[in-house]
Amino acid sequence: MLPGAKKYPHVFSPGYLGKMEVKNRIKYASTETNFNFVDGYVSDKEVAYMEAQARGGAGMVTTQGAFTDPSGEGKGYVGMMAIYDDRFIPGLKRIADVIRKYDSKSVLQLMHCGRVGGVHLDYTVGPSVVPQRLPRFREPVEMSVEAIEQCVQEHVDAAIRCQEAGFDAIEISGIVGYLLSNFISAYTNKRTDEFGGTPAKRAEFPRRIVAGIRKAVGDDYPVVIRLCGRELLDDRGGNTAEETMEINKIIVDAGVDCLSITAGWQESAKSVISRDCPQGSWLWIAEEYKNALPEHVTVAMAYRLFLPDQPDQAIAEGKLDFWESCRAMIADPMLPQKILEDRQDEIIPCMACNLCLARLFRDAELNCMVRPSLGHETEPEFGFYGFARAEQPKSVAVVGSGVAGLQAAVIAAEKGHQVTVYEKAGQPGGQLSAAANGPWGDEEFGRLVNYYVTMLKKHGGKLKLGTEATKEMLEELGADIVVLATGAAPDPAAYKGGDGPNVVAALDVMHGTVEVGKRVAIIGGTGVSISTALYLLDKGGHTVSIIGPQKKFGRDVNPSYIWRYMSKLKGGNVEMVTLCQVKEITDKGVVVTSKESKDTLVEADTVVLANMTPVGSELREAVKKKDSYVIGDSLQVRRAVNALLDGYRLGMRL
């Protein structure tokens, strides 16, 4: 027995989906990728991605949702695969075959996106005409009874094609604001006919789909459905918990073997899968349904379960049957195998940054901050299955241990180069080590830093902390390659009075190495400013102002987070001083000026600089004659994803 199986015996015990045995309790959960062709045909890139997920050791691997209608009303993503015609079966079969190759059970998901669908149309469809809250989506058209009945049949026909393609099970998506959830919710279903008006009638459309599929595929073919356990739409007339339970029971009783239970919609005004939701936040919903449903119906859950400890305990206590993993396995498809071998420190950790979702909503291919090899699994140069050893190993000096430097160093070391990373601070991680001191889950950034340090050591690289690289040192070092990844820091010289005794740097504030007064003015307006303000709010005892020339602060922050952050800042009475320039910093605060007003003093005991500027330019002269590179924020100030990608692409070239 492998060590991970001893450590997590319940996660690695066999489970059952109806009568079908599954080798372990890990299920890769569905997500779109936009890898497929615009006409719905499966691409080689999608097959390679699915193979990676199966190869990683999950007991079940679920495909992305396939849309079931030829009109494209159910298509919510530009690269979404189709299943509305027999001509798509060969491509789908390729996915089923490649999953089976690794002793995983293949599950194909059917998904009609409803009021968030019709990506190529000028309208969407739903049970009723309810105005969109999100400007990205087009206004809905009410479905006729005939259209509803046709949609039911399209799902049934698609399930038959799923069987013909060789999949082991079928899954139906009814979550986050897609069509089935539109019919279920009192928020979007205002009908008074047989498909609306009461909880039982709102359940009728999905009930018919499940019943129709069950009749078509037979009693022994596993049927999974994803449903919301809590809509989190109380502010706009959504279902109560009691209504949701009543409806979901009706649907499950129509022939479901496994319920994948979730929380929230895309329109919910509450955090669901971001870092400010602690790991395991939603397990109580799984337990609720485990207790309410018949024993033969298994319960699965994915949301905010990135580590095996909580799922293993939940399975042991009878609160959960299957641990679903989506974003954590986007970040590292090998997560199950690494856990099984008790190599958890080698798992590429998902940061719940939701870049993956942001990309999909912009009609771009799925991307991942921590895994640039996503979508390039079959391309050797991207190293998903390991980088080839360099023909001529060289000595590589990396200056700076932020994510750019560490990422480049890890790949270079894996290729066999002799790598040393020099870091002047006493801890690795650069700006990310400071960010990890932030509130509401930001400590998870520390996992990424720890991962890089682990992999650097595994591949024979060295990390020298408390060692500042100077021009003289680099000149004497004699390294074949020098990588400058010195990052960025606030620039006091940018402001008159920036060298005053009441002026401190944002990163020092977040490291807790400087004293901060009661009244605090933060100069910046970007994500660093917002993170610093949130940190101070969490610490308490401060009144905070943010100052900057922007009309809106935080434009560099992921859309999944900025609205939450701004809500927290508003709740903390943070003053937003926008559309202004800093004239000078005094012992009383910050004097700002704008087109609309004369000089204005923003009173502050402490002024925090968050105007991040590249540092380390003095080192470039020392290495300009060498094989040298500048990456990350030391090249241009951006976000962590950009710095990490710089490091990865450089590592590929070394």
pLDDT digits (tens, 9 = 90+) for 180-196: 999 999 999 999 999 99
Q: Is residue 16 part of a domain?
A: yes
User: Does residue 8 fall inside a structural domain?
Assistant: yes
Predicted local distance difference test score (pLDDT) of residue 73? 98
Structural domain containing residue 638 = 389-487+616-653
Does residue 230 lie within any of the structural domains? Answer: yes
Nearest to 438 by CA among 533, 546, 503, 575: 533
Angle value at C-alpha 335, between 421 and 485, nearest 5 degrees: 20
Distance between CA atoms of residues 190 and 198, nearest Å:
10
Domain-embedded: residue 206 = yes
Query: Do 235 and 340 share a domain, yes or no?
Result: yes
Which of these three, 379, 405, 429, is where a domain ends?
A: 379
pLDDT at 556 over 90: yes
Confidence label for 477 from pLDDT (cuts 50, 70 and 90): confident
* Cα 631 to Cα 646: distance, rounded to the nearest angstrom: 6
Q: How far apart are CA 212 and CA 204, in angstroms?
A: 12
> Which residues, in sequence order, are CB contacts of 615 under 8 Å at separation 6+?
486, 487, 488, 489, 634
Last residue of a domain, one of 352, 379, 406: 379
Give the pLDDT band (50/70/90) at residue 397: very high
In a domain, 135, yes or no: yes
Tokens coding 608: 């925090």
CB atoms within 10 A of CB 193: 11
CATH number of the structural domain spanning residue 533: 3.50.50.60
- The percent helix, strand, coil of the chain (3-state, each to 5) is 35, 20, 45
**Residues 280 and 235 occupy one common structural domain:** yes
Token pair for residue 5? 């199986």
Q: What is the pLDDT of residue 624?
A: 75
Q: Which of 412, 406, 428 is nearest to 632 (CA)?
A: 406
Mean of pLDDT values over 478-490: 95
Q: Given the structure tokens 């995983």, which residue do they identify?
A: 104
Task: Please give the average per-residue pLDDT across 468-490, as a whole number.
Answer: 93
Give the percent of the chain with pLDDT over 90. 93
187 and 331 belong to one structural domain:
yes
Across residues 422-432, what is the average pLDDT?
A: 96
Residue 414, SS3 per DSSP: helix
**Distance from chain centroid for Cα 387:** 25
Cα dist from 120 to 80, 135, 340, 563, 645, whole Å: 12, 16, 43, 27, 31
| Residue 106, both tokens | 């293949």
Residue that terminates a domain, selected from 360, 379, 398: 379
Q: How far apart are CA 115 and CA 155, in angstroms?
A: 17
Query: 374 and 237 share a domain?
Result: yes
Query: Three-state secondary structure along 623-645?
Result: HCCCEEEECHHHCCCCCHHHHHH
587-635 pLDDT, tens digit each: 999 999 998 888 999 999 999 999 999 999 889 887 776 799 999 999 9
**C-alpha separations of 191 from 141, 142, 149, 594 in Å:** 13, 9, 15, 53
The whole-number average pLDDT for the span 362-368 is: 95
Question: Which pLDDT tens digit goes with each residue over 77-92?
Answer: 999 999 999 999 999 9
Residue 333: predicted pLDDT: 98
Quickly state the pLDDT bin for 33 (edges 50, 70, 90). very high
With b meaning 16 or more CB within 10 Å and e meaning fewer, what string describes 407-444?
bbbbbbbbbbbbbbbbbebebbbbbbbbbbbbbbbbeb
CA separation, residue 77 to residues 109, 206, 560 (Å):
14, 22, 18
Does residue 101 have a pLDDT over 90? yes
Judge if 468 and 517 occupy the same domain.
Answer: no
Distance CA 514, CA 505 (A): 9
Question: Hey, what amino acid is at 501?
Answer: P
Tally of residues, the chain: 654
Give a yes or no: residue 384 inside a domain: no
- Report the distance separating Cα 609 and Cα 71, nearest Å: 54
Average pLDDT (248-261) is 98
Same domain, yes or no, for 416 and 496? Answer: no
Residue 9 falls inside a structural domain: yes
Give the torsion sign (CA, 98, 102, 103, 104).
Answer: negative
Tell whether 519 and 473 lie within a shared domain: no
Which pLDDT score is estimated for 361? 87
Residue 622 is predicted with a pLDDT of 76
Rounded CA gap, 51 and 300, in Å?
A: 22
Same domain (yes/no): 78, 110: yes
Residue 468 pLDDT: 94
* Average pLDDT along the chain: 96
- ∠ CA(406), CA(408), CA(409), 5° rounding? 60
| CA gyration radius, the chain | 27
Domain match, 501 and 482 both: no
The rounded percent of the chain whose pLDDT value lies above 70 is 100
User: How many domains does the chain divide into?
Assistant: 3
pLDDT score of 541 more than 90: yes
Written as six digits, the tokens of 158 are 């698609």
509 and 407 in a common domain: no
Same domain, 500 and 529: yes
Is there a single domain that holds both residue 461 and residue 531?
A: no
Note the pLDDT tens digit of each residue in 117-153. Answer: 999 999 999 999 999 888 888 899 999 999 999 999 9
Identify the pLDDT of residue 623: 79
